Amino acid sequence: MQLLSSFRLAKLPQLMSVALLSCVLAAPAAHAAGGKKEVKKPVAAASAKKAATKESAAKGKVVADAKSAKTGRAAKAEKPGRGKAEKASVAAAGKRGSKTAIAKAERAERASGKKHLVRAGAAGGAALAAAAIAAPVEPARLSYGQMAGLHAVSDPLDLQSSVAYVIDQDTHEVLLSKNDQAVLPIASLTKLMTGLLIAQARLPMDEMITITQDDVDTEKHSSSRLRVGTTLSRSEMMHLALMSSENRAAHALGRTYPGGLAQFVQQMNAKARQLGMKDTRYVEPTGLSSSNQSSARDLALLVGVAHGEPLMREYSTSPGYEVAVGRRTLQFNNTNRLVKSDNWDIGLQKTGYISEAGRCLVMQAQVSGRKLIMVFLDSAGKFSRLADAERVRHWVEGMGPTASTTIAQRIRG
């Protein structure tokens, strides 16, 4: 027994070493065997996360494409993204103002919205439906004319403006009328009344006026190149307001009128009543408010009176104008590219746009020896109002020097 005990004690360290070595070797194997199932879980989670990311990205792209399709033609809103073909058409329209060039620009504008719809459709109907449920796209904001259904009214010239009115300035003969009594927001056409009051007030045109924080647009939050602190003469402010539709310049003209802005707005409405503009109401001098409203007939009256003021004719039809602002010289251009066209003899014009009003245009122009006053309101596209003016010009030119009453009667709404 003593010998056996001695043998066991002698071998005990070796036995313990073998047992310990077995445990060490067995532990990694057990860990590996147990970890196989645990490793599968992170891989599956990563795959699911990756798939979810792809799906989210696809949905985001569809939503972006859908939004892009909704806003097909852009806002100031008048700076849409253009492709090469469209830019070429716009450049041609600005240089010559021809019917063909403007028609191409108008078609390119319509086509730009269709491309976004194609891309959205390519993303897949199921993905589009899922994206619509996850993030519904807000509908495009309609103009007052669209909400009233005025675009459903047709006319022989297929005009894109829901309201149109063309009269002979000398004889007052109505050549064209389409929804001419509809009362709608008039956007920057408001500035015609603003300029008329300043011109008739015979205020010192060399008096310096400074843009203040009060002139900053808080209605539509539009931008302006005239920073707060910019000082220009009243003449320069009026020039920019009529030619480039500068909102801060127009507001500054009203603010610095004798008696202040409230008195100026009151005079705007008083002048409208004096001229027989029964459907017209003004609340501010820029046109940014949709509460500034009028009818095509009223606006034709205003254009006729404004055309009698030399400053209104000169400032509204100049192609471009430079002003010195501190050490900088700023170049402003006319918002109506037709003034640069050799095909047009424009005596007075004004454009306008806010979403509630659509694209607007009024002009006094000589066509085939006749002095015409044209009013186009609530045009659906940026170039459509110009194309409508071209359609009317070519139609009148086709009549000859004297329009037949029978022919004119066919186009009256």
Bridge partners, 324 (sequence order): 329
Residue 84 known to be catalytic: no
Rounded to whole angstroms, the Cα distance separating 158 from 141 reads 24
First to last CA, the chain: 131
Q: Which two tokens stand for residue 122?
A: 């390519």
Helix or strand run (H / E) with residue 238? helix 234-243
Q: How far is residue 174 CA from its own chain's centroid?
A: 31
Q: Is 11 among the residues known to form the active site? A: no
Among residues 161, 224, 245, 379, the one annotated as catalytic is 245
Q: How far is CA 209 from the centre of its chain?
A: 29
366 phi, psi to nearest 5 deg: -95, 125
Taking the CB of residue 413, how many other CB atoms lie within 10 A of it? 16
Helix (H, G, I), strand (E, B) or coil at 402: coil
Residue 245 is among the residues annotated as catalytic for this protein: yes
Catalytic residue among 191, 220, 350, 382: 191
How far apart are the C-alpha atoms of 188 and 211, rounded to whole Å? 19
> How far is 237 from 252, CA to CA, in rounded Å?
8
The phi and psi torsions of 394 (rounded to 5 degrees) equal -65, -35
Exactly one of 112, 177, 188, 295 is catalytic; name it.
188
Residue 76 makes CB contacts below 8 A (sequence gap 6+) with: 220, 222, 223, 353
What are φ and ψ of residue 124, in 5° steps? 110, 135
CA torsion sign for 352, 358, 362, 367 is: positive
Q: In terms of Cα–Cα distance, which of 264, 341, 332, 271 is closest to 301?
A: 271
> Of 59, 72, 69, nearest to 123 (Cα)?
59
Active site residues: 188, 191, 245
